[in-house]
Each structure stands twice: as structure tokens, then as C-alpha cells.
Chains A and B, each alone.
Chain A
Amino acid sequence: EVQLVESGGGLVQPGGSLRLSCAASGITFSSYWMHWVRQAPGKGLVWVSRINTDGSSTSYADSVKGRFTISRDNAKNTLYLQMNSLRAEDTAVYYCARDWGLYYWGQGTLVTVSS
């Protein structure tokens, strides 16, 4: 059974940092591109970032470029999202998802940016 489990969310003050993790099981993690997608309260899904299989290629939405960094550890079957200089508008549930068609999703982790 494929499982993606996010963790690391929480309450953080504006300007602060958080690192999200996404632990994968039931898949050959190193074979798949991975994505982060977020959803602000009451809003739609928004793509955040993606990374290729070996971590050598990454891409970001304009809204997070220069503040967020995606990475992966294939030995640990884990995807990461380092979030710096957080803003109120980054408040959202963050999901990881597998491959370009987002064929599997995690359950999400809530990030709240507030003073």
C-alpha cells in the first residue's frame, strides 16, 4: 500500500521558518518526481514546488521562490520542504504528492503563520 505521510506543520510567527517532511512507503521513492501542493483555508489547490528523482532539478511557484527549498533523501524515502521568511499568506495545509499526475497524496500538514 502506498503511503505518503507529512509532518512538521505548526504555528509559526511571521518571518519564521519550518521544515516539512513527507515520508513515503510502498513505492520505489527514488523513481518518482515529487511535488508539494498547498491549500489555504477555504481555497483551491495550488502547486508549490517539485523535485526530480535525484534532486538535481527543482522548480517553485513564484509566490515562494527564494523563500522555500525542496529537497529529498532517497535513502530515507523522505521529501522535505524548508520554508523560510514565512508570511501570513503561507498559511495552508501542505500536501506532498507523487509524480506529475499527483497519483498519490498525503493527508496534509497544517502550517499557520500568525503572531
Chain B
Amino acid sequence: QLVLTQSPSASASLGASVKLTCTLSSRHSSYAIAWHQQQPEKGPRYLMKVNSDGSHSKGDGIPDRFSGSSSGAERYLTISSLQSEDEADYYCQTWDTDVVFGGGTKLTVL
């Protein structure tokens, strides 16, 4: 079964960097994933797709502060120079015959 696992919460200081992790079920370690951001009281926004080789393709207008990478079954979203507006829920998502979401990580900017 295709499963994505995320930590429920993360925190980092204003101006610092944070790396969020999304782990694929072991049998699906070659799958690409997408990261989505959901700011409070807003709809989700596509950030980027991250492939198993670490390459990534960002959505329209996504700042350079956001980047993606991979290692094995793990897919990462790194946000540098954290700003207050980065405080949001971050969801990873993938697909085979249907779409699958991780449980989301709530990022707090201190």
C-alpha cells in the first residue's frame, strides 16, 4: 500500500532554515512526490514536484527560498530565510492509480 509519512509538527526561528521530511512506503521509494503549502484559512498551493533523483520543478511564483531534495525513500522540502508567512501546513502528495496525501506538517515560525 502506497503511504506517505510526515511529522505532525516542526518549528524554526525567523530567518533560519527548516527541512521537512516526507517518507514513502519502502516499496514505493522511487516515486516522485509533490509538496503543497496551506496557509491559515487559505486553500492549498502547489509548491514543487520532487523526483527520486532529487531534481525538482517549482510552481509559478514560488520563491528561490523553497527547494526540494531526495534520499532513498525520503523526500525533503527545505525553506531557507524563514519568513512569518511561511507558517503553514505542508502536505506531501503522490499518486499511482489514485492520489495519496501525507498527514501534513504544521510549521511554526518562532
Q: Does A32 contact B (CB under 8 A)?
A: no
Task: Name the A residues within 8 Å of B45 (CB-CB).
Answer: 105
Task: Encode contact with B along A32-69: 1 for CB under 8 Å, 0 otherwise.
Answer: 00010100000011110010000000010100000000
Point out the residues of chain A lying under 8 angstroms from B91, CB to CB.
Answer: 44-45
Contact A59 B44 (CB under 8 A): no
Q: Which residues of A contact B44 (CB under 8 A)?
A: 37, 45, 95, 97, 102, 105
- CB contacts (< 8 Å) of A47 on chain B: these are 98-101
Q: Is B68 an interface residue (CB 8 A)?
A: no
Give Cα A105–Cα B43 distance, bound, in whole angstroms. Answer: 8
Q: Could you say which residues of chain B place their CB within 8 Å of the CB of A102? A: 34, 36, 44, 46, 93, 99
Given the complex of chains A and B, what is the CA–CA distance between A79 and B86 in angstroms?
31
A101 interface neighbour in B43, B49, B98, B100, Cβ under 8 Å: B49
Interface of B, helix, strand, loop or mixed by DSSP: strand
B43, B97, B103, B104: which contacts A59 (Cβ < 8 A)?
A: B97
Question: If the complex has contacts A45-B44, A105-B44, are A100 and B95 also in contact, measured as CB distance less than 8 A?
Answer: yes
Any A CB within 8 A of the CB of B59: yes
The closest CB in chain B to the CB of A108 belongs to B43
Q: Which residue of the partner chain A has the closest CB to B102? A: A44
Query: Whole-angstrom distance from the CB of A65 to the nearest CB of chain B?
Result: 12
Bound together, the chains give a CA A95 to CA B38 distance in angstroms of 13
Contact assessment for A104 and B46 in the assembled complex, using a CB-CB cutoff below 8 Å: yes
Asked whether, in the complex, the Cβ of B101 is within 8 Å of the Cβ of A59, the reply is no
Instruction: Beyond A102-B34, A102-B36, A105-B36, list 7 extra A-B contacts (CB 8 Å).
Output: A35-B99, A37-B44, A37-B99, A44-B101, A45-B36, A50-B99, A104-B46
